[in-house]
Structure 1
Amino acid sequence: YAGLPLPQAGGSRLRRDEAGLRKDSTSAWVLMDGALANFSTNRSKVAEGACGLILDLASLTNKSSNLHLAFDYTMASAAESLHVHLWGYVDVSSASQTPTLNL
């Protein structure tokens, strides 16, 4: 397969101002044909590690706007599972390098 590597986060944490999809340096996640993919069969952080995405909504002009998230996924076998975690934060006084998500 020919996948585009995802940018690595600054260490094993995604920081507040790291835009776009990010992964831990040991992870095998790539972008392939516009989809997030991981073809590793290594039962470790390489295949099972997280990737993260921070969406900064501060620039929305209408603070009562709705955010709609959707995704499709395919598993290699019926025995596998996918876990998705969503968090919402209200930024009070963070800095650009504030750790926001563990990978």
Structure 2
Amino acid sequence: VSSALADLEATSDIKAQLRELFFVGAKEVEIANKKSILIYVPVPQLKQYQKVQARLVRELEKKFSGKHVVFIARRRILPKPKRGKNRKPEKQKRPRR
């Protein structure tokens, strides 16, 4: 997947937008006898991916011979803060909603 994105960055006219973006991971899954490629992207960059997603998916599906390509945001769920002896100092506060 990374080599395909690098090829697109080298040849495509969406080069400037792709240069700023990166992905966290990729996984190939099979759903209903059809292979799909899941590309995990960081949550803060999801909006930027959505701007070029239509062209990017079309080009990647051509490269991967008709497999579906899906972009998914990779989120990290922070644990609830603990009290007492087992408490570790947290790196960042857990968001409240």
Query: Shorter-chain TM-score: what band?
Result: under 0.3
* Higher-RCO chain (CA-CA 8 Å, sequence separation at least 6): 1
Greater radius of gyration (CA): 2
Q: Normalising by structure 2, what TM-score?
A: 0.26
Which one has a larger percent strand, Structure 1 or Structure 2? 2
